[in-house]
Amino acid sequence: MAKVAVVGREDNILCFLASGFRAFPVNGTDEAKEAVRRAKKEGCDVIFVSPELDEVIGWADEKYGESVTPAVVPLPLGSGDKAKERLTSFVERAVGANILGD
């Protein structure tokens, strides 16, 4: 089973602990980057990042973009189409088709 982590403000991510996700509460971009590094080191395959830390997504793409894991995905917390598009692209890459629909 894949290990999943969530990185973001404490009030946005603690609810994910009940689902068995590894939660990394952070304050700011630098802490978020370190949390992504720790999550990867701990073997997390999917790392969701709160929308307010959007800069971390670009950084993770540069650092881990060629690897299958970790998939660093914006957490869709009302962040609009950007998070949905990114999640859809990861699913398409993994499965070979858009199974999420439009």
Place of tokens 């499965």: 95
What CATH number has the domain spanning 4-95?
3.40.50.10580
Structure pTM?
0.76
Bridge partners of residue 7, in order along the sequence: 24, 49
Tens-place pLDDT, residues 27-49: 999 999 999 999 999 999 989 99
Tens-place pLDDT, residues 9-19: 998 888 888 88
Is a pLDDT exceeding 90 seen at residue 78?
no
Is a pLDDT exceeding 80 seen at residue 85?
no
Is a pLDDT exceeding 60 seen at residue 80?
no
Section 51-61 average pLDDT: 88
